[in-house]
Amino acid sequence: RPRYDPLDGGYARFILLSCFLVFGLTYGVIKAFGVFYVEIHRHFETTATGTSWITSIAVATLHFLAPVASALSARYSHRSVVIMGGLMCCVGVVFGSFARNLNELYLTVGFLNGCGYAMTWPPTVTMLGLYFEKRRPVANALASSGECVLTFVLTPLLQLLIDSYSWRGALLILGGLQLNLCVCGMLLRPLKATRYVILSDGSDHGTIKRAELRTKILRYVDYTLITNAKFMVYSMFGVFAALGFFAPGLFLIPYARSKGIEEYQAAALMSISAVLDLFGRVFFGWLANLRLVEMLTATMILLGTVVLLCPLASSYLELAAFSAAYGLMYGAAVAIHITMLAEIVGVNRLGSALGFFLLIRSSGGLLGPPIAGEFFFTPLNGVSSPLTFHSVTCDICLDSYTVSYRT
């Protein structure tokens, strides 16, 4: 198998560029989607939990269908699967711009867009692992920084588009931007690998057939991963991490708006988080060759502590400090945990392992944002809140009052 050094050039640079953009146009869009929440919340007069299901469905679909994407990539090619995924993302978001109710947004921007994410992200990350070996942690860190860069760019850009063309027009333009995922797929030139079935001279025809069948199945879905204790423990870590990975980024902007911060300042909080996220990924990706397990444990403890401190922030400076700390720790966690998977299962099983890992993690990705939405009761400025309004009459003075409480 040809070996490539990310610092020396070669076609690996284009694989890195493709993965950089895929990270940005999938997870970067997911993190920047919070700017749509206030407008969708207002337009459909829904709750924070109801709005959060859009992103939650997309994230869960990405995770749940990841094994299918891995199998399709092995059967056809990474290039064709990613191109198809890019088309699905575009169609899902464009159709979502014409949604007449929240359920149609769930189906389009949530499910169909999530299917596209599943077809693009896992195959591209797998290709990156194949093209880089000696400096794989650095390559993963640089590629995943696309999420930070695109979050930094898209958050104020989408807010500007919403102000200029409404949330529907902004979704339409976003769908066009996601067509670039097809270009990313075109860059994925496959590496040729030869697979052999090793047999003894005394093997009979039946043994040969069974070995060939097993090899073919393992090529598409490596079911033997469920017997790998380290992989299963690591997958359970993924479930609990996904419960909290996405919620702070999704609700940071609505939370800031509820504190009286104007829309562009609230959007800037995501940009601050993205800058520190970028630094965390690159720096800790560089350090990721050093005792990965210990680093990941320490990083997750710090990340959890930062999230717990979020309710104490109310002013813009306090929220900016939280955004910076959250972005730094989030970036460190991402840089380390992606690299650890290849270390646990080996690069040859990375494609199937990534698919299974995301499948197991899907429950956390699905439930995390709605659970966080259940705790988000604060009314948004100028937006109908997730509270129910009721009229009551005072029995003493016979005056009518309107009160609000959560039912």
CA separation for the pair 199, 370 (Å, rounded): 52
CA separation for the pair 399, 35 (Å, rounded): 40
The H-assigned helical ranges of 178-246 are: 180-186, 205-220, 229-245
Burial of 36 (0-12, 13-18, 19+ CB in 10 A): buried
Q: What pLDDT was estimated at residue 198?
A: 38
CATH of region 12-191+211-255+349-391, choose from 3.30.420.40, 3.30.160.250, 1.20.1250.20, 3.40.630.30: 1.20.1250.20
Going by the DSSP 8-state scheme, the letter that residue 396 receives in this structure is T
Residues 6+ apart with CB under 8 A from 216: none
Q: What pLDDT was estimated at residue 283?
A: 82
**pLDDT, tens digit, for every residue of 318-366?**
999 999 999 898 888 877 776 777 778 776 777 777 777 777 777 776 7
Q: What pLDDT was estimated at residue 288?
A: 63
Query: Does residue 53 surpass a pLDDT of 90?
Result: no
Q: What pLDDT was estimated at residue 41?
A: 82
Query: Does residue 66 surpass a pLDDT of 50?
Result: yes
Residues 6+ apart with CB under 8 A from 379: 258, 385, 386, 387
Query: Does residue 404 surpass a pLDDT of 50?
Result: no
CA separation for the pair 219, 223 (Å, rounded): 10
Q: What pLDDT was estimated at residue 94?
A: 95
Which residue did the predictor score with more confidence, 358 or 289? Answer: 358
Going by the DSSP 8-state scheme, the letter that residue 226 receives in this structure is G
Domain borders along the chain are: 12-191+211-255+349-391
Residues 6+ apart with CB under 8 A from 358: 62, 63, 64, 66, 67, 118, 122, 238
Q: What pLDDT was estimated at residue 397?
A: 40
- 157-161, 229-233, 386-390 — which one is most confidently predicted on average? 157-161
In the chain, the percentage of residues whose pLDDT exceeds 90 is 23
Q: What pLDDT was estimated at residue 184?
A: 94
Tokens representing 143 are 């590629």
CA separation for the pair 213, 211 (Å, rounded): 5
Query: What average pLDDT score do residues 166-181 get?
Result: 94
